[in-house]
Structure 1
Amino acid sequence: MTVSRMPYMIGVPESHRGWTFVTNHARVLAAIADDPNVRIRDIAAHCRLTERAVQRIISDLEQDGYLSHTRDGRTNTYRIEAGKVLRHPAEAGLTVASLLSLLVQDEAHRAGGTEARSSQPAEAPHVG
């Protein structure tokens, strides 16, 4: 499933104030895992963020080694470091792959998908 085909959550307001369970960084990372060639514009639309916010998040993820990209013409191809451990001490030992697996399962559930999902993200071939 590509980001452009991802369903939006029905009944969710366009903007949200306050805290959420899933961070914007996790949402952006999951969108990239879904399509490593996704455009910033499409990530922003899917995550309901501004393009500038997505650019800042991608920069954060790259600076901390969770994400890298190569440029081919006008297209960026992102690579996620799936083996990298999450930042918070309470999540010691949990990897990016674990987080993405959880988010992919949730996306499939919300989309009404019935296909079996493995414990690894479907994106494993392009995830480092």
Structure 2
Amino acid sequence: MEEAPGPRSTWTFLTSHARVLSAISRDPWARIRDLAVALQLTERTVQAVIADLEEAGYLSRTREGRRNKYELRGGQFRHPAEEHRDIAPLLDILATPPHLTGDDSGANDGARPESGRQESVDADGRMS
């Protein structure tokens, strides 16, 4: 008897860009090294993705002391099929801490000792 074939490809639902943007929305003080580990990407990939997101206007970066702080600017989806839709609702879903969704994957919940509060993206795509 022949076995059923395995999956045709290994793909994920979200792109690296969406995953990096989501992780930054949870933790605006995240280091590239920490993002790379959490997202299972290389540091070079995370750097390139952040550069893409900055160039496209989705986020900005400011240096505060020895750390970068990222600020989400919001925006629309880039694909023509969704270009009229705002990314904020998707980021709100992805930025929800795992303990509020029942996900025990151990992902960072966005709490930072420096700020003590978590920011979210409002309906206009701005951080609140």
Task: Provide the TM-score with structure 2 as the length reference.
Answer: 0.69
Q: Unaligned regions of 5+ residues in structure 1, if any?
A: 1-16, 113-121
Q: What's the offset of the Cα at 1:74? A: 1.6
Residue 57 (structure 2) aligned to one of 55, 65, 68: 65
Q: How does 1:83-98 map to 2 (within 5 A)?
A: 84-98=75-89
After superposing the two structures, state which structure 1 stretch, 19-28 or 93-102, moved more.
93-102
For the pair shown, the structure with the greater C-alpha radius of gyration is 2
Deviations, residues 3-47 of structure 1 (Å, cap 9, x unaligned): xxxxxxxxxxxxxx7421111111101110011111111100110
Q: Unaligned regions of 5+ residues in structure 2, if any?
A: 1-8, 106-117
Deviations, residues 36-64 of structure 1 (Å, cap 9, x unaligned): 11111110011000111000000000011
Percent of pairs with identical residues: 47
Contact preservation (8 Å) 1:81, 1:96: no
* 1:51 maps to amino acid: E
Moved over 3 A (4+): 105-108
Contact preservation (8 Å) 2:29, 2:68: yes
Q: Distance in 2 between matches of 1:52 and 1:106?
A: 26
Superposition RMSD in Å: 2.4
Q: Per residue, is there more helix in 1 or in 2?
A: 1
Q: Give the number of equivalent residue pairs.
A: 102
Contact preservation (8 Å) 1:37, 1:78: yes
Contact preservation (8 Å) 1:81, 1:127: yes
